[in-house]
């Protein structure tokens, strides 16, 4: 039996990496999926070979009007929402002496303001008993040099998710976060770092993971499926680390 048969799922950052892998899995599990991303060409390319019932919506999560548009188009097409997966995010590196207001604003606009405003727009349209998922990160649990603003943004999102868990208690809507460790996705090419530095950073991350490797997007997708489905019916308010044990040592 498919785990999300007939359910409507909205996924941000769905043109790439974790979001795309999750969209594929949710479609295989019978969901109707709204794939959202900010680059239209990437969305078109990413969805070319997908099977199942889905639409795409071009939306920049940092823009309030785009979050409204995303939810409006979802509701106009599918009526209600069962799963809201707020996954879009960026992780540019800047040690403290290089942090600028622009860097801070960009990271917080996309990683914190975006998911919060999208949630606000979506809440009236989420079925009671539905599920909200955030892609967080283990970064806010440890200290990784250069990831100060990124770590702070994910810590802020974690704090927000606790409040949301309580605010939605009367409607049976579960709120959970996934905290990936290092996962092999295109995000490492978008960090404003030279290729060789990214490669070195990758090697050192992999060495520190108890399981000795990067994770795969599909391993986060299967976690998202678990948390979104009835299999996790009594799991609420948690942040689930999917990191090969990195956060625990
Ligand atoms: N990979 C890891 O090691 C790792 C670890 C911990 C947490 N995470 C988190 O996992 C999430 C997904 O990242 P990923 O690793 O799958 O990387 P990715 O392949 O780069 O995916 C990130 C997605 O977010 C989208 N996005 C970025 N800014 C956006 C905006 N303003 N509006 C709409 N969409 C936007 C990207 O679109 P564009 O391609 O158009 O920018 C892309 O689709 C992020 O929240 C990230 O912080 C990743």
* Ligand 1 binding pocket mutation candidate from 14, 15, 18, 35 (most atoms within 8 A of CB): 18
pLDDT in tens, 232-248: 999 999 999 999 999 99
What is the domain partition of the chain in residue ranges?
Answer: 8-241
| pLDDT the model gives residue 83 | 99
Q: Compute the distance from residue 58 Cα to the ligand 1 centre, in Å.
A: 15
pLDDT in tens, 21-43: 999 999 999 999 999 999 999 99
Q: How far, in whole angstroms, is CA 136 from its chain's centroid? A: 7
| Predicted TM-score (pTM) of this structure | 0.98
Residues whose CB falls within 8 Å of the CB of residue 189, separated by 6 or more in sequence, listed in order: 198
150 is catalytic: yes
| pLDDT the model gives residue 192 | 83
What is the CATH number assigned to the segment(s) 8-241? 3.40.50.720
83: burial class by Cβ within 10 Å (0-12, 13-18, 19+)?
Answer: buried
Atom index in ligand 1 nearest the CA of residue 139 equals 6
CA distance 237 to 164: 8
pLDDT in tens, 111-169: 999 999 999 999 999 999 999 999 999 999 999 999 999 999 999 999 999 999 999 99
């Amino acid at each position: 039996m498919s785990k999300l048969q007939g359910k409507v799922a909205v996924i941000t950052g769905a043109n790439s990496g974790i979001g795309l892998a999750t969209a594929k899995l949710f479609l295989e599990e019978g969901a109707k999926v709204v794939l959202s991303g900010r680059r239209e060409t990437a969305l078109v390319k990413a969805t070319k070979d997908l099977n199942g019932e889905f639409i795409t919506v071009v939306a920049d999560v940092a823009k309030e009007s785009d979050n409204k548009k995303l939810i409006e188009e979802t509701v106009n097409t599918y009526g209600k929402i069962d799963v809201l997966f707020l996954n879009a995010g960026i992780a540019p590196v800047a040690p403290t002496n290089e942090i600028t207001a622009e860097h801070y604003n960009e990271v917080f606009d996309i990683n914190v303001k975006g998911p919060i405003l999208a949630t606000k727009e979506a809440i009236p349209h989420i079925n009671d008993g539905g599920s909200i998922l955030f892609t967080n990160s283990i970064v806010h649990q440890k200290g990784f040099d250069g990831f100060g603003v990124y770590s702070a943004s994910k810590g802020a999102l974690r704090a927000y998710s606790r409040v949301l868990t309580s605010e939605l208690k009367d409607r049976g809507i579960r709120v959970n976060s996934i905290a990936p460790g290092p996962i092999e996705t295109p995000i490492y090419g978008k960090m404003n770092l030279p290729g060789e530095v990214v490669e070195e950073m990758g090697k050192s991350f992999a060495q520190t993971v108890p399981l000795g490797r990067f994770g795969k997007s599909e391993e986060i997708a299967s976690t998202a499926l678990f948390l979104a489905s009835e299999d996790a019916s009594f799991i609420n308010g948690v942040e689930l680390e999917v990191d090969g044990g990195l956060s625990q040592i």
